[in-house]
Amino acid sequence: MKKKLRIYLPFASNELKRQMAYKGAFYLFIFISLFGSFIQYFLWMAIYGSAENSVLGGLTREEMVVYIFMVYVTGSVVMISISDWVSDDVVKGTVAMNLIKPIDYRMSLISRAMGQVVYRFLVPGVFIWIGLEIYKVTVLGLSVTGVTNVLLYLASCIMSFFIYVLFDFCFGMVAFFTTYIFGMLMAKEALLSFLTGQLIPLSFFPEVVQKVFDYLPFSSMVYTPVMIYLGKYSDAQLCFVLARQAAWVVILYVLGSLIWKQVTKRLVVLGG
């Protein structure tokens, strides 16, 4: 275990350092990315303003504010697109090199992703989160989110991270079969922003569609932790959604291993 840590830790810390190296880019990026969330906020406020009901898709106006910003925080921390790196490695032909080294390619990618998680959590994640809590108490007149909810949220986020990167690893394997993964990445992002609830809470979808979503891993990526944070689940539901997340981690892990085996076989045959 300790040895493993020694092997994979550099992947994480290098990524973190790499990210921090571009300082100038960095401050403005925080500022503008926050700005983007505010625009979304206004759009939703206008929608609530035009609606006859005060509750839309099971969320009050105040809850929607929390939803928008927590989705941003969660998504930015959890959704680390490792398939970009896979496609980079495929293009540069460095995957084969990774096969020679005594390290697990998937583990090295996930470690690198963890480095990004830390970075994204520090800036801007945690600041928006704190800002949101302050806003909640002072402007919206809600109480601070309870410790239990926060802890459950964090636990859920950790699983979300694994669900996302394990899924994305499988997805990244597509890169071995195409020379141009960019279009696929676009399609993936478009679909995910919808299916994970980033664009609009999943509760806005028709009942039938929501049923389908229950059998897909995407709702477990962002929607679940945020709804936990909002305290929208009963104890029984809570156990269920967390168990479902855990199940997805296992399923996607196994699936990824299977796909990787196939891909490496092909790699060996083709000598790529």
Partner 1 sequence: MKLREEKIVIEVSHITKEFVSPKKYPGLKGAIKGLFSNEKVSKKAVDDISFTIEAGEIVGYIGSNGAGKSTTIKMMTGILNPTEGRCMVNGINPCKQRKENARNIGVVFGQRTQLWWDLPLSESFTILKEIYDVSDEDYKERMVFLNNVLELQDFFDRPVRTLSLGQRMRADLGAALLHNPKVLYLDEPTIGLDLVVKDNIRKAIKEINEKYQTTVILTTHDIGDIEELCSRIIIIDQGKKIYDGSLEALKDTYGTKRKVSMEVKKPEKVEHLNLAERLGVTAQECSMEVDKEQKVLTVTFDKHKLQVPQIMNAVMELTEVQDVKIQETELAEIVKQIYNHGFTGQEA
Partner 2 sequence: MVKKVKRYFRLYKVLISQFFKVILQSKVDFLMGLLGFFLTQVMGIAFLYLVFEQIPSLQGWTLDQLIFIYGFAQIPRGIDHLLTDNIWMVAWRLVINGDFDRYMLRPMNIFFQVIAEKLQPDALGELLIGAILVVISLGKGIVIVDAGRILLFVVSVLAGALIYTSIKLFFASLAFWVKISGPFLQVAYEMANFAKYPTEIYAKAIRFIITWVIPFAFVAYLPASFFLKQEVSAAVIGIEYMIAVVFWCIAYAVFNHGTKVYESAGN
Site residues (vs partner 1, CB under 8 A): 13, 16-17, 20-21, 23-24, 26
| CA gap 80, 64 in Å, rounded | 24
| Residue whose CB is less far from partner 2, 174 or 255 | 174
Q: Which residues contact 216 (CB under 8 A, 6 or more apart)?
A: 195
By C-alpha distance, which of 81, 114, 82, 89 is closest to 8? 114
| Residue whose CB is less far from partner 1, 12 or 263 | 12
Q: Applying CB under 8 A, which residues contact partner 2?
A: 22, 24-26, 28-29, 32-33, 35-36, 38-40, 42-43, 45-47, 49-53, 56-57, 178-180, 182-187, 189-191, 193-194, 199-200, 204-205
Q: How far is the CB of 173 from partner 1 (least distance, A)?
A: 23
| Residue whose CB is less far from partner 2, 117 or 195 | 195
| Residue whose CB is less far from partner 2, 28 or 208 | 28
Per partner kind, with CB cut-offs from 5 to 8 A, the member of partner 1, partner 2, none near residue 140 is none
By C-alpha distance, which of 255, 252, 246 is closest to 159? 246
Per partner kind, with CB cut-offs from 5 to 8 A, the member of partner 1, partner 2, none near residue 40 is partner 2
Q: How far is the CB of 196 from partner 2 (least distance, A)?
A: 12
Given a contact cutoff of 8 angstroms between Cβ atoms, the answer to whether 16 and 119 are in contact is: yes
Q: How far is the CB of 261 from partner 2 (least distance, A)?
A: 25
Per partner kind, with CB cut-offs from 5 to 8 A, the member of partner 1, partner 2, none near residue 204 is partner 2
Given a contact cutoff of 8 angstroms between Cβ atoms, the answer to whether 40 and 68 are in contact is: yes
Q: Tell me the C-alpha to C-alpha distance, in Å, between residue 108 and each of 9, 41, 67, 96, 250.
A: 9, 37, 32, 14, 18
| Residue whose CB is less far from partner 2, 31 or 240 | 31
Given a contact cutoff of 8 angstroms between Cβ atoms, the answer to whether 218 and 188 are in contact is: no
| CA gap 39, 45 in Å, rounded | 10
In 48-176 the beta strands, taken as DSSP E runs, fall at 55-56, 59-60
**String of DSSP letters for 139-188:** II-PPPPPHHHHHHHHHHHHHHHHHHHHHHHHHHGGGGG-S--HHHHHHH
Q: How far is the CB of 24 from partner 2 (least distance, A)?
A: 4
Per partner kind, with CB cut-offs from 5 to 8 A, the member of partner 2, partner 1, none near residue 17 is partner 1
| Residue whose CB is less far from partner 1, 16 or 80 | 16
Q: How far is the CB of 31 from partner 1 (least distance, A)?
A: 15
